[in-house]
Structure 1
Amino acid sequence: MKNLLYIGNKLSGHGFSVTSIETLGPLLESEGYDLVYASSKKNKMARLLDMLSATVRLRNMANFVLIDTYSTSNFWYAFLVSQLARILGVKYITMLRGGDLPKRLANHPRLCALIFNPAYKNVAPSGYLLDHFQKQGFRNMAYIPNTIEIDNYPFKKRVIEQPKLLWVRAFAAIYNPFMAVEVFKVIKEQFSEATLCMVGPDKDGSLEKTKKLASAYGLDIKFTGKLSKADWIRLSEDYDLFLNTTHFDNTPISVIEAMALGLPVVSTNVGGIPFLLENNKTALLIEDGNTEAMAEAIKAIVKDKNTADSLAQNARLKAESFDWQQVKLFWNEILREQ
C-alpha cells in the first residue's frame, strides 16, 4: 500500500466549491492508497501552517506528497510545501491546476524552476499546460486528465426551442459571470421565454455584482448558490445549453460534466479550452468577452437541431475518455512505479 499526503484547499465544508482534493482523493483511496489530507482550515495562514505541519509530521510515512498547484495566491502554498518536502527528502508531485500558470512561468522563471525541476513529476491535466511546461524545458512531465465517473452522468437528448441556459462555476472575476448576463440580455430580445440559471458560490464578491447587473437589465435569472454535485446534475435536466464564459481556464470539470450530460457547450476559447473542446465538433467556441458571438452561437444551436445533436453526441464521447476507469491507469503507473 502506498501512503500519500494530499495538499490542497479542502474547503467545501466552508461553503466553497468542491475541488480536486475532494474528488481525486477518494478515487485514489478506492484504488487502495492510504491518504492524509491538508488542509480544511478556512483561515489562509492556519491552512498554510497545517500543510507545512503535515509535511513534517508525515515525512517518514508518505511515499509521495501530492500538491494541487494553482497560479494565483494559492501558488504560494504549493511553493512552500514543495521546498519543505525537498529539504526533508520527500518525493512530491505537483498537480497543475491553474489555468494561468503559463503566465507564472513567464514572469517568475527562477521561482518556478525551484518548485517544478525537483518534483518527482509535474502532472498536467491538459495538453495546454503540458505544452507550455515542455516548451519551458521541464522534462519531468506527465499528462493525466481531470476525471469523472461517467456512470454518474446520465446522457439526456435535448430538444431546444426556447434556450434554457445553465452556467456552473464559482463567482469570480476570472470566470467572467457578468458575460453570461450580457449574453442572456441579447438572447431575451429574440427568445422571450429563454431562461438562465447560474450555479456556484461567491469567491470574490462577483455574485452580488452579477445580481446587480441582472437587476439593472430587468432580467429574471435564477441564482442557486452552491449546490452539491448530485443536486446540480438533477438541476441540469431542466436546461439545454451550457455556457462557459471564463477569461482563464485549464480543463474545467464543470465543462466535462456538461459534455457528459448531453448539454451542448458554448465557451470562450481561452487557456486550455481549445485542447479540451474542438470548435464545431464538441462545442462552439468564441473569442473571450465577445458577447454577440456567444449569443449568435446559442441561436445557431437553437436553429439547427442537427448541430445541437452532433455537438452533444461528440461531446459525450469525448467526456467518456475522462472516466476514472481509464484515468486511474495513468495514476497507478506513476504511484506504483517505485
Structure 2
Amino acid sequence: MATFLWSSARAALGGVWLLVCLLSAAPAMADPLPVFEVAPGVFVHAGRHEETDAANAGDIANCGFIVGAEAVAVIDSGGSPVIGHRLREAVRLHTDRPIRYVINTHMHPDHALGNAAFLPDRPDFVAHVRFQAALAARVDHYRQAFDAAVGSAAAAEVRIIPPTVVVADRLELDLGGRVLELVAWPVAHTDNDLTVLDRQTRTLWAGDLLFMERAPAIDGSVLGWLRVLDALAAEPATRVVPGHGPPSAPWPDAAGDLRRYLGRVVEGVRKVQAAHGTIQQAVDTVAADEAPRWRLFESYNPRNVTAAFAELEWE
C-alpha cells in the first residue's frame, strides 16, 4: 500500500487544466469563514444543510485546514470561489505560514469549486487518481447547475485546473513535524474518494465518505461504501471531520447512522427485487422511516434507492 502516482503538472497551470474551478475577481478583503479548532492546529468550517443557491454561495459542505510547523494544508475549498476566498482569509487569520497543499476529498463541486481562490499561493492541488476523469465527465453539468443555482455571472468564469499530485493508494505529506496520511479508496460515495489522517491529533478527514445529519448521496456504489466504512473503522483516529455535519465527532461511532441508513437501503431494495417489484415501488417504500433522521431526505433518498436498485439488480 505504498504506491502512489506523482503528477508534476505544476507547469501545466498555464496550459492543460483538469480540475473545475470558478474563477472570479478576488475581493479586496473577504469575510473569513468561521472555523472551529477541533484539535490543536486543526480548523473546520461547518457548511449549511442546504442546496447551493445565491444566498449561501455554495457554502454547504465542511472544509478547513491543518497548520504544521512549516506549512498549511487546506482540505476541501468550498462550493464557489467566494467560499474559497473566505476560507483563505480564515487561514490568514490564524497563521502566516504558506499554504503548500489544497487537498480535494472528491470531485463534487460543493467541495472543490473554491480551489481557484488559492492559486496565488501556488500550492500543489492533491486528489485521487480518478478525480480528473470523473470531474472532466461532468464539467458541463456542473457549469449548468451552478449557473441555475447561483447565477450566470459566476458560472461564466468556469475554467479547468489540474491536480498537481494524484494519489493511487497512499501518500504522506509533511507540513513540518506534522505528517498527513492520504488514502485513495475504492468506489464508495464516488469513484474518487480520498481521506486525510492527521497523525499528530488522530483526526480523520473523511470527506463525503461520512455524512452526518444531512442525507447522504450515493454516486458510486452502496455496497462499496459499506465495505469502505468497514475499512475506515480500522483507521487509528479518535475523531472524524465529516463531509457534511458537525465540525467533528468521535470515531468510529460517528458512522453509525450512515451505516444503518445504507444497510436499510440495501435490505429494502433486495426485498423489493425478490418480490419482482418495480423501481418505483422501491422508491416509494425503501428506507422511508429514515426520513425524520436526515435533512433533505426527500431530495436524496429517491436518488439513492434508484442508484442502489440499478446496482443490486445485477447481483
Superposition TM-score tier, normalisation by shorter sequence = 0.3 to 0.5
Report the structure number with the largest CA radius of gyration: 1
The structure carrying a bigger strand percent of its residues is 2
